[in-house]
Amino acid sequence: QAGTGAVARTSQDKMRERISVKDFGATGDGVTDDTAAIQAAIDYAESITTANTFSTNAELFFPHGCYNISNTLLISKPIAVIGEGIGDIPTPNAPGTGRAVTIIYAVTGMADKPMVRAIASTSGEILIAGSFERIQLNGAGLASYGFHGSSLSRWKLDASEFRCRLAGMRLDDLNATL
C-alpha cells in the first residue's frame, strides 16, 4: 500500500491474509462435487486457529458461485466462513440484478444430514467467536437442514437464506448463546 506509514510486504504475505476454498480446489461451478476441497480448506483454517479464543483467528472465503456438497461440512474450531455475497438468484423468468451470490448446494446423499455442522472437536468444549456469513444454504428439496450448531458461544450466523426442507438451523445446548 502507498501512503504515510505503509509497510512493504511480499505479495505472498498479502495473499495469505484470507484463505479461499478455491486455493484447495473447489470450483463453485454448480457441477463439481466440492465437498473434499471445502473440507480441506476448513481443516487448514482450523490448523492455524487457536481453539476457543475470544477472537476468530482464520477467515475462510467462498468466492461467488454454487458449491455442490455431498456430505456434511464439519467446523470444529472458531473460524470465520464468509461468502462473497448474497443477492438475486437468476432464473429464466427473472434474470436478477447481477449481484454476486454464494451458495452451498446439497446433492444426492445429503438426506437427513446437516449441510454445515459446527461442533467442538473435544467433548465438553464450547466453540467461541466463530462466524458463518453471506452464504445461502440450499438443501435442494432433500430432507436435510442447513446449519447445525452445538455448544456454540458468541457465534455470528448470517446466512443469506436457508432453503432447506427440514429446518434452516438446528441449535443445541441451552447453556450457549448465539
pLDDT at 29: 92
Whether the CB-CB separation of 134 and 160 falls below 8 Å is answered with yes
Measured CA to CA, the distance from residue 172 to residue 87 in angstroms comes to: 29
pLDDT at 21: 97
Could you count the other beta carbons within 10 Å of the beta carbon of residue 129?
A: 18
The whole-angstrom distance between residue 151's C-alpha and the CA centroid of its chain comes to 18
Kindly list the distances between the CA atom of residue 30 and the CA atoms of 36, 64, 84, 157, in Å, as whole numbers in the listed order: 15, 11, 16, 24
The residues pairing with 149 across neighbouring beta strands, listed in sequence order, are 118, 171
Cell, residue 69:
456438497
pLDDT at 132: 86
Provide block-wise average pLDDT over 10 residues at a time, the chain (178 residues).
85 78 95 97 89 67 93 92 71 52 85 86 77 85 79 75 68 58
pTM above 0.85, yes or no: no
Cell, residue 128:
467461541
